[in-house]
Amino acid sequence: MTGKNNIAIGFLTMGLFMVYGFILIYLRDFAPGKEEWVNSYSLGKHFEARLAHVHGNLFAFLNILIGYLLIHFRNKLQNVKIISRMALTGLLMPVGILTEVYFGLPPALILIGAIAMTTSIIWLGISFIKLKPDNEK
């Protein structure tokens, strides 16, 4: 069912990025060398790690919301499968940030995910603009 995967994967992704938030708290408050981590708050890996955490949870929430809307309006909207897949592909953005921070990979996944999520949001917005109320033909 279109939308179901967005909701399920959205919740799972949100849970994983929440756990990642606990890791960031550990690095800030308890880890050996925490002073160095705190001093790099707005620079480098620390900043990028926080970006991944925030965008991971935001994109997970967007998938939950998009999934719910696609299920609820699946018979009234066009292109629901494509919108669903684009939103799921958007999750590559925060994953791409993490792969760049921890493995030094190029930012290709970040760009693909950002473009996919932005496209799905705009496409869904246009679909809702075109949606006719039940009492119109």
What six digits make up the tokens of 34? Answer: 């925490």
Check residue 132 and report its DSSP letter: P
Q: Residue ranges per domain, the chain?
A: 4-130
Considering the entire predicted model, what is its pTM? 0.91
Q: Is the pLDDT of residue 134 over 90?
A: no
Position 55 pLDDT exceeds 80: yes
Residue 33 has pLDDT above 90, yes or no: no
Task: For residue range 61-82, list pLDDT tens digits in order.
Answer: 999 999 999 999 999 999 999 9
pLDDT for 136? 65
113 Cβ contact list (under 8 Å, min separation 6): 59, 89, 90, 91, 92, 93, 94, 95, 96
